[in-house]
Structure 1
Amino acid sequence: MTSKYSIVTSDLTVKALQDSGYKSTAHAIAELIDNGIEAGADLVELFVVESTDRPSQRSRHRVEKIAVLDNGSGMDPETLRQSLRFGAGTRQQRKGIGRFGVGLPNSSISQCDRVDVWSWTNGPDNALHTYLDLTEVRGGLEEVPEPKLDGVPDEWQALAEGLGTSGTLVQWTQLERVQWRGAEATLANTESLIGRIYRRLIAEGTRIKLVPARGWAPLPGVRDARPNDPLYLMSPSATPAPFDTKPMFRPFGAGNVGEIGVERFMVHGADGNEYPVFVRSSIAVDAARRPDIGGEEWPKAVSPSLNPGEAPWGKHAAKNLGISLIRANRELDLDTGWTNSYDPVERWWGVEIDFPPALDEVFGVTNNKQAATIFSDLAHFNWREEAAGLTWDEFREQLREEGDRRLPLIEIVYHIREKLLGKLRSDLADQTRGTRANRKRHEDVETKAEEAVKRRRVETKPSFTDTLAEQVTEEESKEIQLENLVETHKYTPADAQRIIEESIQQGKHVRLLTSRNPDSPAFFNIDYIPNLLQVTLNQDHPVYADLIAVLDGDIDGATKEELAERLRSAAGAFKLLLMSWARFEDELPDKPRERAKKMRQDWGRIASDFLGADEADDEDDE
């Protein structure tokens, strides 16, 4: 008897196919929708069907079938049979959204043990049918069963809306690996991804209908998927009200193609030809983050004191963090590697990279169309480390001379990292720095500083601001403050007026603010105003980014690990700050160094007074 020694057993083959790398059931379903769209469908229906039986009264109904039906061109017998072969698809050209022809079998087997396909070109009653069953594959089945004439089951015909002269129905059963139990849970978790992946096509008129069912009866909740745009420029969209009918963001940046917020880069493909890559960017409108914008009514159901990130539209934006990679009008991935995960402000910007299939090798597009690995790997690329002292222009020329194939992507990354994200983040910081909610984080510090100033007024001679106060009226002081806040620190007149009134109402003679001052080497500046000592933290100084922003940022949604890392990072920045002062003294000549030493000691004594304000209050209470 002759034994067979297969290199790979059928069981191992099946296991490998099941572990084909789909991120979720929703991503696998997207492969089926791709096929319908590539076949020219303008309606794709996604059915999630629950069983009518339950193990007990308290048990939930379990999904027993998932199906995708399209009204595309359908398939002939040869094409249908080929469609269930791994790596033998019919759409391997680099024009549409398909890639490598592995989508239908790979995505199906990743979720179920049996997939049935009906396809027709002359009415659903004349459909051809074939299937893959993993039990048969494990038993040695080596060929896709030959398609046979078998009309689309009556139950599906009754449930469907889009049955036409031609089309395809893919049905999954024996759902061993589907993530969610019920029909609505499956659709709810799929809808956001489907709306995002196909947002452009949906906006252009392609319908993707979502149908929950039990047995063969539709359940409440039948609807069409709406665009889910991480750039928040589309309307209407799936964004919560009031931004479901108007854009929540606006285009950001001048652009280089005559369109605001759009930059074009020309990139050579593997075929030697040049192709355009478009980088689009957007930023939240003021009304998404502030309840006090004239003409933009804040929803009555949402408290104006609520952190905008906790509003329904803010929570929606938190789920769309990252850079969206678009290929052939279809999203591949929403890459979070570019975001500061601990910073809630990151949700308020959007960036999209749009490239054609001809650049698949350059970007590193995966077979299952879920990532562009070469581009994503550059998310943490630090050109300065690799440049070893060269300027950007010198480094770029070096890469060009060396023929580095990454150069076009590195140039795009440079644009995003060095020009785009920094400006987006600084503009977002400016957008709310004058709001009541933003100012509130300084209140405790101002209150403690005010107590310390009161004590020192008793113990020391009048300060410079005390002396200035004797020379002007209260109204003149308010005018000086208004001019300072608006002209010097670029607050809006309304924000500036409110800040002044708050200080007066609270009886404060100290104020802490943030300000933009890229030309100043100081990490904080002091304004001496009659009866007011004002400190402004320079947001353009590294100390602000590495210390203040890390500690002062919102903590909503941050994990313990992220918070611990923020503390470690801030502690390191503070220690470096002290070392920088030490080096400052070290570089001074003898006499100035002695003066600096005395200043440091005097400042230390006053710092003890300010930081010990709570202890002094406790002693007074006793």
Structure 2
Amino acid sequence: MSVHSDKYRIVSPELTVKAMRDSGYKDTAHALAELIDNSIDAKADLVEVFACEAPVQLKTRVSYRVEEIAVLDNGHGMNAETLRRSLKYGDGSGNGNDGEPRIGKFGMGLPNSSLSQCTQVEVWSWTNGPGNALYTFLNLDQIRKGQENVPDPEHKPVPEYWRRLSNGLDRSGTLVLWTDLDRVNWYGAAATLRHTEELIGRIYRKFLDTGRVQIRMAPVRDGQVIEGGEYYAAPNDPLYLMKETCTPPPFNSKPMFQAFELGDPERPGFQSFQIADKDGIRHTVTVRAAMARPEARIRDIPGHPWPQDAKSNKDAGHQKWGKHAERNVGISLIREDRELLLDSAWAESDVRERWWGVEVSFPKALDDIFGVTNNKQSATVFESLARLNWEAELDEGETYKAYKDRLKELGDPRLPLIDLANHIRTSLLRPMRAKIKAQTKGIRGDSGERHPDRAARQATNAIRKRQEDGHTTKEDLASRGQSEDEKRKEQVDNLVARHHVDPAAATKIVDHSLKLGLLANWITSSQDTEAFFTIDPMTSILQVAFNSDHVLHGRLMAVMEEVPSDSSSEDLRERLAQVATTFQLLLFSWARMEKETSDPERLKIVKDARRDWGSYARDFIEDGDF
């Protein structure tokens, strides 16, 4: 080779280094996950993550900054050949589909993740005691200077420093050490680990929940684990079905969600699909779904009180567990029991999206079908389906089957997953959202509204006054003979059957009304009618049901009731203007109805109704203190 041949290399060492570093890891936590993957594949049941900090003198004070990060496990360790290959890009013992239930596949994790965060990675691995460890490393400066091979492993005992810090050093294992942390996202040791806690707990929740592995998080200062600073990662389950998790109390020791029925009575909340790989071999993909239990969203359900430190007059979304759920919105994609990503693109812009969870699990044999990337942070094909509107892609007159046939001819990579995606969107998310919306229907007191019962109280006063003046109805007379239990049953049954309110929520609504002696109630629900409200046929209470499917709901009630707590003065003024305009248009619509009523007898009925309604409105409104 000519001495000048280096100038014609396809890839220069400098570009090689840049490619190694710009590997797409979202943050330090995701990079650390690659090392934990290797530990789990090595059959470790204990993985220890150390963040070691040192003092840094600032202008007016001393701060601490992480200088080293280490991951130590008690797995089976590596021999010299495997150790050397583990630091080679595109190699490694996990490469290929050999049927082993390993997380790794691409042979990229150890070097790729390490050099994305630091300029030197060192590895010790042993199969016969840490004193007999083998050692090798990668250094970016040496690679820039033209180093092409991973250094041959040498015998080098695990340093005493790490032996002293470890709780589980065993006869076999591996230690990975990152130094010169020029790309670590956080500064102090505790902060570095704190920012990894929820992610690590979520990625490995299935391993943690079943006890297959423990992950010790240990911040280190002055050569010692910081007193009171270490902890073991707890599962972070976005389906909130696990019992012992990192969810805030009271749901740290009991499930916050319940399985959403998917049609299999033997496995509630489970559904299986058969999807073929590129060779036509079919594999099982499992979908799980869950939604919030009533007690997670509704205060003071009997037997399920909220904690004493729960924020008063705030709904569940403002509580600690609601904030936790807000960080777990989306569909969790699971590969070989390890989470690849939590895809929030499937969620709508509604605060209630936090109250459902969906998990899609698939084997690594379907990596190409799902579009799994080599850093195991994305599944590009599956993610693209969150934004798919197949109806918009149809040619004129084309059926769904013809559309799929066309995709097959084009070799569209989305085709194998389209049926799964449509099922999730239409047969799963749609009914779950409806149930979640109905779960707290009619419960306005926890929403932050200042006077949720004001209209009902005033209406009750007006009804009683009219009764005293002799204006009684047949319902008034019938209700006098009802016991409180009979009234409760009538009203709860109405809310559950007619308006699809969760039974626990319905019971709370009715108990609240009975306690206050209310004779009127207001509820919003979907109704198949052109009327913008209906009157429920009940004896014990006057219940008005506003039609959420009517245009007036979005223009009037939603504008008034669904006001964000951080609304600006300008936004509030705009809302008031919209309500005033809508009310004026409502009266104009009545006036036009009268003008278009040509039958004299019908016109007389309409005018009488307008006059009578005005009279009733005076009785209900004029004495109101609001």
TM-score category, normalised to shorter length: 0.7 to 0.9
Correspondent of 2:510 among 497, 502, 505: 497
The aligned amino acid for 1:500 is S
Q: Does the C-alpha gap of structure 1 residues 497 and 589 become closer, same or farther in structure 2, counting only changes over 3 Å? A: closer
The answer to whether the aligner puts 1:84 opposite 2:87 as a matched pair is yes
Question: How do 1:196-215 and structure 2 match up within 5 A?
Answer: 196-205=202-211, 206-215=213-222
SS of 2:258 mapped into structure 1: strand
SS of 2:386 mapped into structure 1: helix
SS of 1:277 mapped into structure 2: strand
In 2, Cα distance between equivalents of 1:398 and 1:154: 65
In 1, Cα distance between equivalents of 2:48 and 2:75: 12
TM-superposed deviation, 1:494: 3.4
In 1, Cα distance between equivalents of 2:235 and 2:16: 38
Q: Does the C-alpha gap of structure 1 residues 488 and 516 become closer, same or farther in structure 2, counting only changes over 3 Å? A: farther
Correspondent of 1:382 among 371, 375, 389: 389
The aligned amino acid for 1:40 is K
Structure 1, 426-435 or 279-288: larger mean CA deviation: 426-435
Question: How do 1:111-510 and structure 2 match up within 5 A?
Answer: 111-205=117-211, 206-220=213-227, 221-256=229-264, 258-302=266-310, 305-343=313-351, 345-387=352-394, 394-396=399-401, 398-400=403-405, 403=408, 405-435=413-443, 437=445, 441=449, 443=451, 447=455, 468=473, 472=477, 475=480, 485-490=491-496, 492=503, 494-501=507-514, 504=517
Note the alpha carbon deviations across 1:262-310, whole angstroms, 9 max, x for none. Answer: 0111101122100011110011112222232222243233256442222
1:9 corresponds to: 12
In 1, Cα distance between equivalents of 2:270 and 2:242: 15
The aligned amino acid for 1:209 is R
The aligned amino acid for 2:225 is P
CA RMSD in angstroms, aligned pairs only:
4.4
In 2, Cα distance between equivalents of 1:155 and 1:472: 85
Correspondent of 2:50 among 6, 28, 47: 47
Q: Does the C-alpha gap of structure 1 residues 261 and 457 become closer, same or farther in structure 2, counting only changes over 3 Å? A: closer
The aligned amino acid for 1:122 is N
TM-superposed deviation, 1:477: 8.9
How many matched pairs? 597
In 2, Cα distance between equivalents of 1:123 and 1:110: 30
CA contact (8 A) 2:53 2:64 kept: yes
TM-superposed deviation, 1:321: 1.1
The aligned amino acid for 1:538 is N
Q: Does the C-alpha gap of structure 1 residues 470 and 375 become closer, same or farther in structure 2, counting only changes over 3 Å? A: closer
Q: Does the C-alpha gap of structure 1 residues 371 and 276 become closer, same or farther in structure 2, counting only changes over 3 Å? A: same
TM-superposed deviation, 1:60: 2.0
CA contact (8 A) 1:449 1:610 kept: no
The aligned amino acid for 2:534 is N
Structure 1, 590-599 or 407-416: larger mean CA deviation: 590-599
In 1, Cα distance between equivalents of 2:611 and 2:418: 47
2:39 corresponds to: 36
Note the alpha carbon deviations across 1:194-244, whole angstroms, 9 max, x for none. Answer: 111001111222111111111311112222111111111112111122222
Q: Does the C-alpha gap of structure 1 residues 150 and 596 become closer, same or farther in structure 2, counting only changes over 3 Å? A: farther
1:68 corresponds to: 71
Note the alpha carbon deviations across 1:451-482, whole angstroms, 9 max, x for none. Answer: 9x97x999xx99xx956389637736998975
Structure 1, 591-600 or 149-158: larger mean CA deviation: 591-600
SS of 2:302 mapped into structure 1: coil
CA contact (8 A) 1:92 1:101 kept: yes
TM-superposed deviation, 1:437: 2.1
**TM-score, scaled relative to structure 2:** 0.82
2:534 corresponds to: 525
In 2, Cα distance between equivalents of 1:283 and 1:598: 49
The aligned amino acid for 2:61 is R
CA contact (8 A) 2:331 2:343 kept: yes
TM-superposed deviation, 1:107: 0.6
The aligned amino acid for 1:69 is L
CA contact (8 A) 1:291 1:304 kept: no
The aligned amino acid for 1:126 is N
Q: Percent identity?
A: 43
TM-superposed deviation, 1:21: 0.7
In 1, Cα distance between equivalents of 2:185 and 2:599: 69
Q: Does the C-alpha gap of structure 1 residues 410 and 538 become closer, same or farther in structure 2, counting only changes over 3 Å? A: farther
In 1, Cα distance between equivalents of 2:130 and 2:113: 24
Q: Does the C-alpha gap of structure 1 residues 425 and 143 become closer, same or farther in structure 2, counting only changes over 3 Å? A: same
Structure 1, 284-293 or 361-370: larger mean CA deviation: 284-293
In 1, Cα distance between equivalents of 2:176 and 2:241: 34
Note the alpha carbon deviations across 1:349-370, whole angstroms, 9 max, x for none. Answer: 1110011111111111111001
In 1, Cα distance between equivalents of 2:297 and 2:206: 26
Note the alpha carbon deviations across 1:498-546, whole angstroms, 9 max, x for none. Answer: 35346646xxx764212354x5454532347789764212356687579
SS of 1:555 mapped into structure 2: coil
CA contact (8 A) 1:522 1:538 kept: yes
TM-superposed deviation, 1:438: 5.1
1:555 corresponds to: 564
CA contact (8 A) 2:332 2:339 kept: yes
SS of 1:240 mapped into structure 2: coil
Question: How do 1:567-582 and structure 2 match up within 5 A?
Answer: none
Q: Does the C-alpha gap of structure 1 residues 159 and 532 become closer, same or farther in structure 2, counting only changes over 3 Å? A: closer
CA contact (8 A) 1:308 1:314 kept: yes
The aligned amino acid for 1:356 is P
The aligned amino acid for 1:151 is P
In 2, Cα distance between equivalents of 1:324 and 1:303: 29
Q: Does the C-alpha gap of structure 1 residues 402 and 471 become closer, same or farther in structure 2, counting only changes over 3 Å? A: closer
TM-superposed deviation, 1:605: 13
Listed as ranges, the gaps of 5+ residues in structure 2 are none
In 2, Cα distance between equivalents of 1:43 and 1:290: 39
The aligned amino acid for 1:514 is T
In 2, Cα distance between equivalents of 1:174 and 1:606: 78
Note the alpha carbon deviations across 1:543-583, whole angstroms, 9 max, x for none. Answer: 75798557744736x899xx98xx99x989x99x989x98x
SS of 1:472 mapped into structure 2: helix
SS of 1:51 mapped into structure 2: strand
Question: How do 1:13-28 and structure 2 match up within 5 A?
Answer: 13-28=16-31
In 2, Cα distance between equivalents of 1:542 and 1:277: 41
SS of 1:141 mapped into structure 2: coil
The aligned amino acid for 2:297 is R
Q: Does the C-alpha gap of structure 1 residues 602 and 87 become closer, same or farther in structure 2, counting only changes over 3 Å? A: farther
